[in-house]
């Protein structure tokens, strides 16, 4: 491999000749061994967030008179090129690098500086026309850029996960409509309770999904508030007033999303990452509820002969290497395990909130990567669950009818007609004998199957 030599504060660094990144990115590669871990480039929305901010900053700096049109144009053109044709290999830093996101920020600065340098007639690695710090990072700090990029990444990544969750709700509603009149014996404490319908049961699940979707939307939407313009620790004096006023409107322009707003307290934006943690908390609640839904499907389909057997899930693969004919509920089990990972990611995310100190929270890398991975897990798991399980859900109408007519539902109905105390006495007299219980109820004037 051929190398070029660049230099920084610590001296000279050999950088691969064809790399778009530079010396500080190369140091980060050496300092944070990647092994089999993920890079910043493996989170495309995070890279996109960085590039959009750099494009917005170039435009804001040009309008503020801080950057000449030639250099600003080169930065914008370089960013647009990468937004249209991503180069994840040029963002090779470990996603959990130290320094509060510094390596990710300078990685973006160097890549854009080298592309812009070439656009302006220079050579990669020279930085004579366009410098990573002096021009691409002008009036910015990692401390306001990286948290804002994390916010943008989460907003962008939530969209496909939102769609997957909405599909689950819609599919549950479709199956509910298909079995609107089929009875379903409700259970409490895993014991027989009262009859409802499959429509009732499935629409209860859909209502949970809808509520969590609404709450997640709200949490993600709050990430539109960003600390851009706060520079190092949120001091407005660190950037020109025109840039401070123009950077967020510029971000709205380049993202096509007018919802972005500058934090009212830029010091708070530097110190605290609780809004990221709030999104992770919503993902955790969602995952826990999805585990329940998947377990309910699994339990109701248990059998085929010695379980509940009230539901039938699509058979997608043989279930045993030694028991012919066995078919397991593998798709619900797949979703459950992915949700376990989401719960674990939340633990990692809130640790980032717990360990922030003084004037800057430097743990956003662990927080944002946890959230982005959780969204990936949810999107993939929900897609499989909807397409390979929920959509093909069938119920055994005859078995459900028989279960809905068992003793406990009859006793619940009898207590409304005869009173709880009287029915309790009948149960005591019958000593658990079903036939005698029904006979005594009939003698008392209640006929099973009626409500009077």
Looking at the structure, tell me whether residues 173 and 80 fall in a common domain: no
> Averaged over 303-331, what is the pLDDT?
92
Q: How confident is the model at residue 450 (pLDDT cuts 50, 70, 90)?
A: low
The verdict on 213 and 338 lying in the same domain is yes
Distance from chain centroid for Cα 449? 47
% of the chain surpassing 70 pLDDT: 99
Q: Is it the case that residue 359 has pLDDT exceeding 90?
A: no
Let me know whether 360 and 424 are in one domain.
no
| Rounded average pLDDT over 146-154 | 97
Tell me the mean pLDDT in the region 260-274. 95
* Residue 12: alpha-carbon gap to chain centroid: 41
Average pLDDT value for residue range 17-29:
95
Q: Average of pLDDT values for 311-338?
A: 93
**How much is the mean pLDDT over the chain?**
95
- The reply to whether 367 and 223 lie within a common domain is yes
* Boundary-marking domain end, from 103, 138, 173: 138
Q: What sign does the dihedral 70-76-82-84 (CA atoms) show?
A: negative
The answer to whether residues 194 and 322 belong to one domain is yes
Residue 47 domain flag: yes
Query: What integer pLDDT is reported at residue 106 of this predicted model?
Result: 96
pTM, rounded to two decimals: 0.94
Residues 157, 73 share a domain: no
- What pLDDT digit, counting tens, does each position of 418-440 carry? 999 999 999 999 998 999 989 98
DSSP string of 217-252, one letter each residue: HHHHHGGGEE-TT-TTTT-GGGS-HHHHHHHHHHHH
C-alpha 91/C-alpha 109 separation (Å) is 11
User: In this structure, is residue 92 part of a structural domain?
Assistant: yes
Same domain, yes or no: 115 and 151:
no
* Residue 332 falls inside a structural domain: yes
**Strands 394-395 vs 311-312: parallel, antiparallel or unpaired:** antiparallel
Are 122 and 174 in a shared domain?
Answer: no
Domain coverage including residue 438: 406-443
Provide mean pLDDT across the span 206-223: 98
Catalytic one among 7, 302, 320, 450?
320
Residues 385 and 304 in one domain: yes
pLDDT of residue 452: 40
Q: Is residue 182 domain-shared with residue 198, that is, in the same domain?
A: yes
Q: CA end-to-end span of the chain, whole Å? A: 88
Classify residue 232: in a domain, yes or no: no
Confirm whether 76 is domain-assigned. Answer: yes
For the cut 50, the answer to whether the pLDDT of residue 451 exceeds it is no
Whether 277 is covered by a domain: the verdict is: yes
Tokens matching residue 376: 């990936």
Write phi, then psi, for 389 (nearest 5 degrees): -140, -70
Residues 27 and 44 placed together within one structural domain of the fold: yes
Two tokens, residue 61: 């700096």
Q: Assess if residue 334 is contained within a domain.
A: yes
The confidence band for 231, taking pLDDT boundaries of 50, 70 and 90, is very high
Do 281 and 381 lie in one domain? The reply is yes
Number of domains in the chain: 3
The enclosing domain of 47 has a CATH number of 1.10.275.10
Q: What is the mean pLDDT of residues 238-253?
A: 97
pLDDT band at 372 (very low <50, low <70, confident <90, very high): very high
**CA separation for the pair 240, 27 (Å, rounded):** 31
* Confidence check: pLDDT of 379 > 80: yes
Q: Does a structural domain hold residue 420? A: yes
Q: Is 320 a residue of the active site?
A: yes
CATH assignment at residue 291: 1.20.200.10
Strands (E), 354-408: 394-395
Q: Which of 235, 242, 222, 298 is nearest to 64 (CA)?
A: 242
């Amino acid at each position: 491999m051929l190398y070029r030599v660049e230099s920084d504060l610590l001296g000279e660094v050999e950088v691969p000749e064809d790399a778009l990144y530079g010396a500080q990115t190369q140091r980060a590669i050496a300092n944070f061994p990647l092994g089999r871990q993920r890079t910043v480039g493996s989170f495309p929305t995070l890279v996109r967030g960085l590039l959009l901010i750099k494009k917005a900053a170039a435009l804001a700096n040009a309008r503020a008179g801080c950057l000449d049109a030639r250099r600003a144009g080169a930065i914008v053109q370089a960013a647009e090129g990468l937004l249209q044709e991503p180069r994840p290999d040029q963002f090779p830093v470990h996603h959990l690098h130290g320094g509060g996101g510094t390596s990710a920020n300078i990685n973006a600065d160097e890549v854009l500086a080298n592309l812009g340098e070439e656009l302006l007639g220079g050579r990669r690695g020279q930085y004579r026309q366009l410098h990573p710090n002096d021009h691409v990072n002008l009036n910015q700090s990692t401390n306001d850029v990286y948290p804002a990029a994390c916010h943008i990444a989460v907003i962008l990544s939530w969209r496909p996960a939102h769609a997957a969750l909405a599909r689950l709700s819609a599919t549950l509603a479709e199956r509910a409509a298909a079995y609107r009149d089929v009875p379903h014996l409700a259970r409490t404490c895993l014991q027989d309770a009262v009859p409802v319908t499959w429509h009732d049961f499935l629409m209860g699940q859909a209502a949970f999904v809808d509520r969590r979707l609404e709450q997640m939307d709200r949490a993600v939407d709050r990430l539109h508030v960003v600390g851009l313009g706060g520079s190092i620790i949120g001091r407005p004096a660190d950037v020109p007033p025109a840039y401070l006023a123009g950077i967020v409107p510029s971000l709205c322009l380049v993202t096509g999303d007018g919802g972005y707003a500058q934090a009212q307290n830029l010091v708070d934006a530097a110190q605290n990452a609780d809004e990221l943690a709030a999104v992770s908390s919503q993902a955790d609640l969602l995952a826990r509820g999805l585990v329940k839904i998947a377990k309910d499907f699994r339990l109701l389909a248990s059998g085929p002969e010695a379980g509940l057997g009230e539901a039938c899930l699509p058979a997608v693969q043989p279930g045993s290497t030694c028991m012919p004919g066995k078919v397991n509920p593998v798709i619900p089990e797949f979703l459950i395990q992915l949700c376990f990972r989401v719960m674990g990611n939340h633990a990692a995310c809130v640790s980032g909130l717990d360990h922030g100190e003084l004037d800057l929270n430097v743990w956003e890398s662990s927080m944002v990567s946890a959230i982005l991975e959780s969204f990936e897990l949810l999107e993939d798991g929900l897609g499989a669950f909807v397409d390979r399980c929920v959509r093909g859900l069938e119920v055994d109408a005859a078995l459900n009818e028989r279960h809905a007519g068992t003793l406990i539902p009859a006793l619940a109905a009898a207590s409304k007609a005869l009173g709880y105390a009287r029915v309790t006495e009948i149960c005591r007299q019958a000593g658990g004998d079903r036939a005698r219980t029904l006979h005594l109820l009939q003698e008392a004037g209640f006929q099973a199957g009626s409500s009077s």
